Amino acid sequence: MTAPMGSLSVRGVNVTYPALQHGGSVVALKDVNLEINPGDFVVALGASGCGKTTLLNLLAGFLSPTQGKLLLNGQPITGPGSDRGVVFQKHALLPWLNVMENTEFGLKLQGVDKSRRRTIAARNLELVGLKDFHHHMIYQLSGGMQQRVGIARALTCDPAMLLMDEPMAALDALTRETIQELLLDVWQHTHKMFFFITHSVEEALFLGSRLIVMSPRPGRITNTYELDFNKRFLETRDARAIKSSADFIKMRETILGIIYGDERAAGQPEIMHV
């Protein structure tokens, strides 16, 4: 695969929203710095209100920072673009199109001719295990299969980066584990930059090559960990053994401690008078 390779840097980013009451403002993100290189699987984890989704919206270009810079390939991010694919929590597929039409949609918008975009889309559908479902309508699929289409669709424009906002939050536990393994296979196969948001500590540890733990009020990155559980899975293909290993459990408890601390500290108003 010929992916437009490059790296992404987030430098000194602040995001401030005007508050609804009191005329103050909410600091959604404060002094965030992050470097993502090709082949990095970055997972963002944190209590609600820690700014995970704000960070993803910045990377996708749906939001501009109040201060600081976001660079992709050295170029500032000015808006959304096909070099960054997004997978959403709710699948956000288009119900009037079938699986194939949804997957090729981005290439169709770009005016790629039909046989070429069908070939690319078919390859991505095969990658996510939906080879035999080209003509199914979205509402005929289970939640897990819908998310597979979402992943295939995001890959079709061959983005440098895949952004995922809790894509597994609405799936049942078994489907979730299957899709987790699928994601690692896609990651290994495409060698793209992955940025993945989750609430689940176990999911974060299993998937990420780098874990950033975020804290609320103001939203910021408090801890960063380099992980290799995902590489261990790709070598051994034994998810259960990895998730029940001593170092995985120890890591899980450490991170749970950080997040529970944040949850307990919650309850104060998020308004800061400026």
Partner 1 sequence: MFNKLFLAKPVTPGKVYGAPGAGYSGFISLTTAVVLIALWFLVTSMGWIKPIFLPSPFAVYNKFIEAWTEGVANSTLLQHTMTSLGRVMGAFFLALVTAVPIGVLMGVNRLVRGVFDPIIEFYRPLPPLAYLPLVIIWFGIGEFPKVFLIYLAIFAPMAIAARAGVKSVSIEQIHAAYAMGASSRQIISHVILKAALPEIFTGMRIGIGVGWTTLVAAEMVASSRGLGFMVLNAAQYLASDTVIMGILVIGFFALIFDLLLRHLEKVLIPWKGKV
Kindly list the residues in this chain that would bind partner 1 in the complex (CB under 8 A). 60-62, 79-82, 84-86, 88-90, 92-96, 105-106, 109-110, 137-139, 153-154, 156-157, 163
Nearest to 109 by CA among 130, 95, 94: 94
For partner 1, give the closer residue by CB, 109 or 274.
Answer: 109
Residue 114 Cβ vs partner 1, minimum distance, rounded to whole Å: 16
Name beta bridge partners: 272. Answer: 25
For partner 1, give the closer residue by CB, 169 or 239.
Answer: 169
Residue with tokens 């479902």: 133
Residue 136 Cβ vs partner 1, minimum distance, rounded to whole Å: 12
Residue 204 Cβ vs partner 1, minimum distance, rounded to whole Å: 22
Measured between alpha carbons, how far is 71 from 67 in angstroms, rounded to an integer? 13
Please spell the DSSP secondary structure of 256-269, one letter per residue: HHHHHHHHHHBTB-
For partner 1, give the closer residue by CB, 117 or 232.
Answer: 117
Burial (Cβ within 10 Å: 0-12, 13-18, ≥19) of residue 121: buried
For partner 1, give the closer residue by CB, 26 or 63.
Answer: 63
For partner 1, give the closer residue by CB, 116 or 237.
Answer: 116
For residue 98, report the phi and psi dihedrals to the nearest 5 degrees.
-85, 180
Residue 97 Cβ vs partner 1, minimum distance, rounded to whole Å: 8
User: Is the separation of the CB atoms in 91 and 171 below 8 Å?
Assistant: no
SS3 183: helix
Residue 106 Cβ vs partner 1, minimum distance, rounded to whole Å: 3
